[in-house]
Structure 1
């Protein structure tokens, strides 16, 4: 019993199976979390070390370089990158794909333990961080107040806002950036301290020694066990003020209030920020990995709405950025594309079949296949994200292909007078081989895509491939089981058709008959044309060669970019003032840039903010953010596209650039319009990055300046910035070792005393009355007026081992110097970056121009130059895509060779593949678009679709020859006529299924619009070429037999291309 006959006889069983799959898919759809991307774990770990008070050179010498030396030996490491800046060092280890990061983190901890004693004593404990896309910030909030300064209410923000948000379901962490926690300040009056004959270290030691709570063990009294404790912590600020810190020169008691001012206030902030013109504290909310980004964001916003009316002191929480909004808008646009694509596909099918029942049979393949995808995504623990939705959008047009081929053949047998069961059996049997082969070729196309791409693209390609493989595999099951059953159940043969009733019925019948005659005429014309092409092979081959030449021209002159830049709705200005500019001055410039942003954006602006200075924790250096009092960031969020006047972020950025050059002290700036999250995920925010590497910083600086000049001169580059060449002024205290030794002063004692005087030193924790927080650090240092000049520094007294106080000027001299603001290294070699954005020119052309100009530079022998940024990523991805492309071609051929049992016919089919290139490259060139990685991704996808049409044609030619004894030319003509309709239906269904993607507008549409455009161009050209080239190539590959048939036909006097049975 054939499969078609079995399906026709078991409609209830098959119906229940597919109903169960649909219900399972619906359940999975309801459970799927929404996210922007699939779960991506980048193969990198970062070690962050805070070294308070150290310069970038100190951090490099004493922190980052020792860490680099030990982690380099860890198995699986590809690159070791480091950044050293004032107070902070970060070392990032990039591992090979597939490395177990938990095990790697354990190895790093072990290595750090081995060198811990070699690292400075006063560093904070090293932190090991892992970049997880799934745990990236979901919502950023701004806390402002109408009463005083928001820093005065840091503890209230922690208790009333942060702790409440942390308890929400799905929230991973809630972090206040640049908080200003309360501290107890002990500002020492140097003059009064010296008059009393005391030192800073004595005061600090006295505070530490008297602010203790010591557990002393247990004591059993009368059968009761008592814990014994010595509570000696300060209960009030007055207790601290009255603390005895030493004896005066005359022998009297010296209390802390005699030599210092004790007060409570927010810690000195290294950064300032404003939201909507008001000072603000920013709160970053991250979700747990696997949590639904939309649900988490909704819960956070709902909690904020509940909190705002209850917050004291005029505090108000506002939403600065919401990643879920971008996700929701993109998901909505893609969902609409999927639904409209389904409608268009069904419309195409109906136009060809012109029967409602036949259209319903094909249309049911869409939900049946899609629901299987949702079920698989759910049970595989995946999310519904941009990548999976793009896959579903493309799958809409392909899941009906098999059903169309099967239905069209079954219906042809029905119209030939066979019963429903016989038609289902015979119709499926004739095309089952082609359907299975075409599905297998589609599947093997996606296998390399899912397995061979590395880096951040890898997990995305893997999920995309899994969605497509699941969809087409499900569509195969639908075409082999559900479609024959539905055809036997719903379709009518010629004998069962009822005559039309009424005027409308007769009018519809006349329209049906007219369209059928038109289609038959097209089929007959194509059959004739295919026969003509088979006889005039060189004409067709020359035409195809011309197309190949045009393709080469488009490849050579078309250019290439990495990825299309989606409209993120955000504009961010990163600016830099002269090195050494104060945070206050930087804030003034940031505020001016915000004013320009508001004026240029007008009513399209939703909100704006700015940040100036360096972050307290310094982790911004891990994502390429610059740190320093002279650095600022001003950003604005535009309204959703549907609510704007038509201005794009790029247009707004161009307007802003024209005004930024007029701002005094603004040395360099870069205006970014990319979504920060997407930029971090893809590893860079700047398309062009030139790496200048070497050992000597001075030669590196000179080489970077020369490279910067070259890049500025290259057409298509804008906002060129040389990073890492800035020098910060520094005062160096150079000890006279001989004089210091004679006076009993060692370098460590002098350095520790100076550090306490200038930077301050924490001497314990205060938990008494008078503070808002539960506890506050006690920070000891000189008052500000005693540390604001070089003379103050030279007049400072340092303690000797005898207890005497010696002025610094007697044992050291203070010299002016400079140190790099930032030192970056790659694989233990120093490097500097020259970055730029591209403008109105393809990225690969800019890269070629930069390489040619740099090659002419006379650089030192120990300096090397490489291209990085998107250029490097583009090269890596292109290499992976090329391998995947070759693997796909090979696998397609192997599957077809196994299916046909011959090496010849698969080669015939493979001739259709190159013209997918032709369609994409020529089509994108004619449309004025640049090829990108997305376009090439569409090329790989197209191969599985393109060969399907050729498979259907070649398989039917073989069938006609094998079962009906036709000659080659007869089989070519008949197969062309009979297979044209399903080929056109599948092609147009695929194309119209992607039309909504091409026409879609909204957040993120640029990425899938380019993919849809490329595939439509490639599919239309390749299908047209396939219809004429495949018959020609088939004849060439069967030339000996064709020649014998021609001789036999000539002797018999019959035309070989006009068989009696050639009617459709």
Structure 2
């Protein structure tokens, strides 16, 4: 929290997600240190000697674990656009928490172990729980040893499993739907109403109230606020706003999206008004109030061409079942009155154009003709025709104008009234006329599918090159993130490879460590696929974190295997076998710690929980699958790369069978 304060961060959804995930990470280093010291105490060392020896042996491993995990977060700091700015707080908060945990694990944890841990009690002094837990761990280790021996005797088969895992990762990545941010249920729904462009204020008010009555009758709705009129949000008179407050989650059975689905058929029955609804989101990158969640813009120097093709595209997209609430903000059906003057008649009667203009302004323009002053205030006197005479275009026939000889003639005798259609508002993008289209996705349809359908529909209808199209808001950010997602993951892998290469002074061992990543990706993508979630930005962040987590299994195995080869003279197969058994307990403990840290995110409920659930799903699925596979594939890949390295260096092979 101190670093967050100094950096100017707030406690928000992203920093809270980082702190929640950190609860499973910050104990990892301490677990590894504590387990190694406890192992020496179990072998008969005094707590002080065990602390010194265990800390000295495991220190480099902890540094490798932590630095490689922080290296994975570095690409998040350099993400561009709005998404990068959003996740910068997440990455920095998590990295600082992990770094502090490393310092504590290398200093405070060994000291506390030396002072607080005791020698292993005699068998007669051991409690039932101590005996039961010890027997259970021994049973797991013995079972793992038997399976590992079988795996080492069938190394080609295990290698094929590892390669198949990599292939399955590619297949799942192509199959899993792509999205952006999950839709949250914050308990608030935003509604934008739209009526015919020629509607009056009174008629709009009546229809808006009818909408409010239908919405308030829903059992999940608690209250709402409604307003119409031209202001900062409403550019035209025929649109309105509603903010619908739902009851607390405990008092309703439906989510905000389901409430919208239930309300939509009821409000659609109203004639002369249409309502667009969407849940209000905690995390959004939109810079404007829109009818729907996603927008698509069209612009062209030719306004008529733009109007023609925007209508064609709206009509084509409205027929797609994957898209809902398709509409455009083109407002070119407003009613406008033109007064066409018969100049010959006006000249014959001695009526000038300025005289006609003054008469119209006197009747409709609220001309100020005087001011009444009092001791306390002043009042403006405004000229205005009687309200009953200005209700429609026919009121123009009741206006009289003065002629040059002082007489009065009806305006209708020298001018006629024409009604035409005109645009109520004109939007621009890059100084060109533009139309903003809006759309929602049908339930179960990912944003990636919607973007693909819109692009394909443009090609099908033959959109001319004179009309420029582009996604806006969340859809635009999704397109940008989709192209950079693989680059982001690749950058995380390359960064971690460089850090591990520097730490191990080897080109081969980092590849062995990185071989654990496909198994985590398979578990993460399977979890998303089975739960019906799409691969959005939150899930991508979870996969990047998995890259930093799952490699710890390989790091702990390889560190101890290399130490056994150098200091004990063991051959690679025996060394990796012993290292795998020796590190099985801390691997199990650290994986469970990270797993339990992610479970609250996966099972989260309440307002906005949908934003955090993909992160928990990805981490739980990835940790479960990687824990099972890497315990067996890592030793085999280590041996294959060891042989490759020796062959490259032209050293003799040193292989000995593992004794059963």
| 2:587 partner SS | helix
Task: Give how far 1:762 is off.
Answer: 6.5
Does 2:551 correspond to 1:925? no
Separation of aligned partners in 1, 2:158 and 2:373 = 90
SS in 2 for 1:1038: helix
Is 1:402 the counterpart of 2:3? The answer is: no
Alpha-carbon contact 1:684-1:870 (below 8 Å) kept: no
> C-alpha displacement at 1:1041, in angstroms?
7.1
* Higher RCO (Cα < 8 Å, 6 or more apart): 2
Alignment of 1:944-959 (within 5 A): 944-959=548-563
Counterpart residue number, 1:575: 193
Which is strand-richer, 1 or 2?
Answer: 1
1:692 aligns with 2:294: no
**Aligned CA distance change for structure 1 residues 612 and 483 (closer, same or farther; 3 Å):** same
Determine which of 448, 470, 491 is the counterpart of 2:117. Answer: 491
2:206 is aligned to: 588
Distance in 2, Cα, partners of 1:646 & 1:769: 63
d(CA) in 2 for partners of 1:754, 1:539: 92
Q: Who is 2:156 aligned against?
A: 538
Provide closer, same or farther for how the CA distance between residues 1058 and 1045 of structure 1 changes in structure 2, counting only shifts above 3 A.
Answer: farther
Aligned to 1:551: 169
Write the deviation string for residues 969-1015 of structure 1: whole angstroms up to 9, x where unpaired: 11111110111111111111011112122222110111111211111
Give deviations 1:17-76, integer Å, cap 9, x for gaps.
Answer: xxxxxxxxxxxxxxxxxxxxxxxxxxxxxxxxxxxxxxxxxxxxxxxxxxxxxxxxxxxx
Match of 1:875 in 2: 479
Q: Give 1:780-795 correspondences, 5 Å limit.
A: 780-790=383-393, 792-793=395-396
Alpha-carbon distance in structure 2 between the residues aligned to 1:893 and 1:532: 30
Structure-1 separation of matches of 2:476 and 2:253: 34
Q: 1:991 — aligned with what? A: 595
The 5 A counterparts of 1:643-654 are 644-654=251-261
Distance in 1 (CA, whole Å) between partners of 2:541 and 2:288 is 16
- The alignment status of 1:1057 with 2:655, answered yes or no, reads no
Residue equivalent to 2:266: 659
Shift of 1:678: 4.5
Q: CA deviation at 1:606?
A: 2.1
Structure 1 range deviating more: 544-553 or 809-818: 809-818
SS of the aligned residue for 1:886 comes to helix
Aligned residue number for residue 439 of structure 1: 66
Structure 1 residue 406, shift from structure 2 partner: 0.8
- In structure 2, the residue matched to 1:608 is 224
Q: How does 1:655-804 map to 2 (within 5 A)?
A: 655-666=262-273, 668-675=274-281, 678=284, 680=286, 686-734=292-340, 754-755=360-361, 757-760=363-366, 768=374, 780-790=383-393, 792-793=395-396, 796=399
* 2:258 maps to 1:632: no
1:498 Cα deviation from its structure 2 partner: 6.3
In 2: Cα distance, 1:436 partner to 1:599 partner:
61
Which residue number in structure 1 is paired with residue 132 of structure 2? 514
Backbone CA RMSD of aligned residues: 3.3
Q: How far apart are residue 730 of structure 1 and its match?
A: 0.3
Alignment check: 8 A CA contact 1:566 1:1006 kept? yes
Output the TM-score relative to the length of structure 2: 0.90
Report what 2:457 is aligned to. Answer: 853
Looking at structure 2, the residues matched to 659 and 830 of structure 1 have their Cα atoms a distance apart, in angstroms, of 35
> Per the alignment, in what secondary structure is the counterpart of residue 178 of structure 2?
coil
For the residue of structure 2 that corresponds to 1:1057, the secondary structure is coil
Deviation at 1:891, TM superposition (A): 1.2
CA shift at 1:888, angstroms? 1.6
Q: Aligned with 2:179: secondary structure?
A: coil
Kindly tell me the number of residue pairs found equivalent between the two proteins: 656
Deviation at residue 1047 of structure 1 after TM alignment: 6.5
What CA deviation, in whole Å up to 9, does each residue of 1:450-477 have, x standing for no partner? 232321x333201111110110011011
Unaligned runs of 5+ in 2: none
Deviation at 1:426, TM superposition (A): 1.4
> 1 or 2, which has the higher helix percentage?
2
Q: Does 1:466 align with 2:72?
A: no
SS at match of 1:600: coil
CA distance in 2, matches of 1:940, 1:376: 23
* Structure 2 residue aligned with 1:56: none
Q: Distance between the aligned counterparts of 2:144 and 2:605, measured in 1?
A: 38
**Mapping 1:1043-1054, distance limit 5 Å:** none
TM-score, L = length of structure 1? 0.57
Identify the match of residue 936 of structure 1 among 540, 550, 564.
540
Contact preservation (8 Å) 1:824, 1:830: yes
- The Cα shift of 1:490 comes to 0.4
Seen in structure 2, the aligned counterparts of structure 1 residues 687 and 645 have a Cα distance that, compared at 3 Å, is closer
Q: Deviations over 1:5-28 (max 9, x none)?
A: xxxxxxxxxxxxxxxxxxxxxxxx
Task: Name the counterpart of 2:429.
Answer: 826
Match of 1:900 among 504, 526, 543: 504
Q: Corresponding residue for 1:909? A: 513
Structure 2: distance between partners of 1:911 and 1:741 = 93
Gaps of 5+ in 1: 1-373, 621-625, 1050-1054, 1060-1064
Does residue 425 (structure 1) correspond to residue 52 (structure 2)? The answer is yes
Are the equivalent residues in 1 in contact too, given 2:286–2:473 (CA < 8 A)?
no
User: Is the contact made by 2:276 and 2:292 (CA closer than 8 Å) also made in structure 1?
Assistant: no
